[in-house]
Amino acid sequence: MTMKDAGLIPVIIKTVKLNGAGNISLQLISQEGNLLPPYSPGAHIDVFIPELGPRQYSLCGENGNGEYYEICVKLAENSTGGSHFIHHHFRPGDSLTISAPRNHFPLPDAGKYLFFAGGIGITPLLAMAEYIANQQIEFELHYFVSDSEHIAFLPRLTAPALAKNVFIHDSSANDSLRHNTPLSLCQPDENTRVVACGPDGFIQRLEDIMRTHHWQENQLSFERFSNANIDKDAENQAFHIQLNSTGQRYLVGPKQSIAEVLLSARVDIMLSCEQGICGSCITDVIDGIPDHRDCVLTDEEKAENT
């Protein structure tokens, strides 16, 4: 797969700055001086890190007109190397390769929005909230943090467009989703959509609260940091896959993924998170019924078997 085929874009790091405790924000501009492809709120890009490969980050700039891309990277304690490399090695003026934006977390249509961000999950939701504020649609943004004195994006969260609709919840002060349920979540409304991003436990707690208060399942849209559909202890069965392009068949063992088998066979495929949460590896099904374990496709899309 060539850079052109993969939709890869050469960029330069314009700025690197601290953004709350343990986070840095990077602004990226085109190496060629052109506008970057536009994107809608909720989109992400892959950043290709030397010797580590692609890592996925949500675009969180104040607009999507292509003048620049902005990402915010938290230094993760259990990092696979990506956030550590970015924090310690990326500098203004460095050249990078990124993917074109993809959006598997689009903003749903609604009359009102309730946004719930857990930690660095604020990145896609901030862009969504700013977009909705510009459309003059009613919303609330609930941002759950571990330290309210050093939060990310504070100037934007306290700007006039958002300030009166933003609620900061400090878990160190027992104001977590587990301890306190915002009033708006206790009052289900058919015209409201709940949009969330955060750790798996945060999303599961939000689902439980909505179920308790009789929200409809389709009123929640979310993106999480890990895939709860992956059961590492499951007793998996071996199966065969066949590539439509070549007709070649491969055996996938009980402890292997399709991606692992194809990569070992030197088949070019697009990957990023390798957990089924970013949508990079979505592909057409020619025949057979897949056992879907991603958390990108909806139940309806999975049932289509396409």
> For position 276, what pLDDT does the model report?
62
Asked if residue 259 is part of any domain, the answer here is: yes
Q: Which residues contact 203 (CB under 8 A, 6 or more apart)?
A: 118, 196, 222, 224
In a shared domain, residues 151 and 220: yes
Q: What is the CATH number of the domain that holds 38?
A: 2.40.30.10
In a shared domain, residues 71 and 135: no
> For position 229, what pLDDT does the model report?
57
Which of 99, 121, 152 is the endpoint of a domain?
Answer: 99
Residues of the chain with pLDDT under 70: 1-6, 79, 226-234, 270-280, 295-296, 298
> For position 278, what pLDDT does the model report?
57
> For position 150, what pLDDT does the model report?
82
Nearest CA to 146 among 163, 122, 165, 171? 171
> For position 3, what pLDDT does the model report?
36
Task: Show the domain range for 274.
Answer: 234-306
> For position 69, what pLDDT does the model report?
97
pLDDT digits (tens, 9 = 90+) for 83-121: 999 999 999 999 999 999 999 999 999 999 999 999 999
Structure tokens at 159: 């700007």
How many domains does one find in the chain?
3
Instruction: Give dist(CA 88, CA 51) in Å, integer.
Output: 15
- The string over 248-275, giving b where at least 16 C-beta atoms fall within 10 Å of a residue's C-beta and e elsewhere, is eebebeeeebebebbeeeeeeebebbbb
Predicted model pTM? 0.78
> For position 5, what pLDDT does the model report?
41
Asked if residue 104 is part of any domain, the answer here is: no
Tell me the β-bridge partners of 73. 24
pLDDT digits (tens, 9 = 90+) for 37-64: 999 999 999 999 988 889 999 999 998 7
Contact 102, 43 (CB under 8 A): yes
Tell me the β-bridge partners of 197. 117, 223
Q: Which residues contact 232 (CB under 8 A, 6 or more apart)?
A: none
